[in-house]
């Protein structure tokens, strides 16, 4: 999704004016880490800092540039050990040439490169732990540990912070939880022209009287597309009709998985009910086009951006009760039913998902409006873009005031 440049009102520290901060990330295509990179770059530019982003490029480069960031073409996506070793010197040279004050890594492979370059140049080093990284084997745990080796380690949710403390206790004194922020100006029903919604519904082949159940996530098994298809089959068996299930997201090279879910749709007799529509460039309109947004992940979400954006749009959400969703979606038994902003169901349970979807699709107008108001207020109070940007810029300012990085990285 491309958004028009917008102003984010932030009380930025004066110490950032004229400073240079470089964020490094594999690419700028789609995802929470990529979106956060652009939001922080825009906040830095507004604060008078130089906001550099080193990456292999992607569809979001033009938005980064429109919002004041500077893209530097860098092979940050490589996981080849030799290429990564060569990249350390290349990145160190870039840090010196650009007089970089802070280096911020947002993914594991480029973070290892960034750590080496930061040590060579004595540049303060920040990491943000964006994902629920799989661990287990000691080698994998060590590889993941790079995201806990910054001078400041940012966790994108309270859940993520607790996982870092559990897996990498050496980072506890450098850990800061900064929950992911949502642009509540872009993700607001009044900000979306109805024509944008209609264009998407037409593209998806949805009739005017059909309700959309939207799963907006890349096509990968743990995002729960198979669980949703099973839930859709159960609802069809119950005689529930009038809903269309839209799977919006890139395969990102997982053509085998895409073919698998296409076969599953056919064998379930759901060709006219479940549709794979590819990447969506207009998420606010997509969310507003939906009667329900679901995130039936089978593994913990480190944050769960789409569920928060949907609540900002006033759309009911149904999510798996894993990871950070207890922070982002309010539901019984943690709150009273009258305080609900969505449904949380056991992961991998198509029957429970079907039950919750049926309840959400059956909401009356008054109940839906009341839930929409609660959900919007919940997001504004806890997950604003302004808060995330201000807290992140405060991390940068603190490191600049300290003047030099810590020497006790492990």
Instruction: Please write the tens of the pLDDT for every residue from 21-64.
Output: 999 999 998 778 999 999 999 999 999 999 999 999 898 999 99
Mean pLDDT for the chain overall: 93
pLDDT-based confidence at residue 169 (cuts at 50, 70, 90): very high
- Counting Cα atoms < 13 Å in the Cβ hemisphere of 294 gives 39
* Phi, psi angles (nearest 5°) of residue 374: -65, -45
Beta-carbon contacts of 211 under 8 Å, excluding residues fewer than 6 positions away, are 242, 243, 244, 291, 292, 361
Which domains does the chain show, CATH number per domain?
14-181+384-402 (3.40.50.2000), 189-382 (3.40.50.2000)
Q: What is the pLDDT of residues 245-289, one digit of tens each?
A: 999 999 988 999 999 999 999 999 999 999 999 999 899 999 999
How confident is residue 366, by pLDDT bands cut at 50, 70 and 90? very high
* DSSP strand pairing (102-105 vs 175-177): unpaired
Other C-beta atoms within 10 Å of 151: how many? Answer: 23
Whether cis (ω within 30° of 0) applies to the bond prior to 333 is yes
Q: What pLDDT score does 11 carry?
A: 52
pLDDT band for 12, please (50, 70, 90 cuts): low
Assigned token pair, 408: 């006790």
pLDDT band at 132 (very low <50, low <70, confident <90, very high): confident
21, 114 Cβ separation under 8 angstroms: no
Neighbours of 409 (CB within 10 A): 16
Q: Does residue 3 register a pLDDT over 50?
A: no
Reduce the DSSP state of residue 9 to 3 states and report it: coil
pTM for the structure as a whole: 0.84
């Amino acid at each position: 999704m491309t958004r028009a440049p917008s102003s984010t009102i932030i009380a930025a520290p004066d110490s950032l004016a004229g400073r240079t901060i470089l964020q490094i990330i594999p690419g700028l295509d789609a995802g929470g880490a990529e979106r956060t990179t652009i939001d922080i770059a825009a906040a830095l530019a507004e604060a008078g800092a130089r906001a550099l982003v080193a990456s292999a490029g992607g569809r979001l480069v033009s938005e980064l540039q429109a919002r004041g960031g500077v893209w530097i073409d860098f092979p940050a996506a490589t996981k080849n050990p030799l290429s990564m070793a060569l990249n350390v010197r290349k990145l160190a040279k870039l840090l010196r040439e650009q007089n970089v004050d802070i280096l911020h890594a947002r993914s594991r492979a480029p973070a290892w490169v960034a750590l080496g370059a930061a040590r060579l140049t004595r540049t303060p080093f920040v990491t943000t732990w964006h994902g629920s990284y799989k661990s287990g084997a000691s080698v994998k745990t060590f590889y993941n540990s790079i995201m806990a080796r910054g001078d400041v380690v940012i966790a994108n949710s309270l859940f993520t912070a607790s996982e870092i403390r559990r897996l990498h206790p050496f980072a506890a004194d450098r850990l800061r939880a900064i929950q992911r922020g949502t642009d509540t100006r872009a993700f607001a029903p009044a900000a979306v022209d109805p024509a944008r919604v209609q264009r998407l519904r037409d593209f998806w082949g949805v009739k005017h009287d059909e309700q959309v159940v939207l799963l907006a996530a890349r096509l990968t098994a743990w995002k729960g597309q198979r669980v949703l298809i099973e839930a859709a089959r159960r609802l069809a068996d119950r005689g529930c009709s009038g809903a269309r299930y839209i799977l919006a997201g890139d395969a990102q090279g997982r053509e085998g998985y895409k073919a698998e879910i296409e076969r599953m749709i056919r064998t379930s007799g759901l060709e006219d009910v479940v549709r794979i529509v590819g990447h969506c460039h207009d998420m606010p309109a997509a969310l507003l086009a939906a009667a329900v947004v679901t995130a039936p992940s089978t593994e913990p979400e480190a944050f769960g951006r789409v569920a928060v954006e949907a609540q900002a749009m006033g759309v009911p959400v149904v999510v798996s009760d894993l990871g950070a969703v207890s922070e982002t979606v309010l539901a019984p038994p943690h709150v009273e039913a009258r305080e609900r902003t969505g449904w949380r169901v056991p992961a991998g349970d198509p029957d429970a998902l079907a039950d919750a979807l049926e309840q959400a699709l059956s909401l009356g107008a008054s109940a839906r409006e009341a839930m929409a108001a609660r959900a919007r207020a919940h997001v504004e109070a806890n997950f604003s873009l302004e808060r995330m940007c201000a807290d992140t810029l405060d991390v940068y300012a603190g490191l600049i005031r300290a003047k030099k990085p810590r020497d006790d990285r492990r």
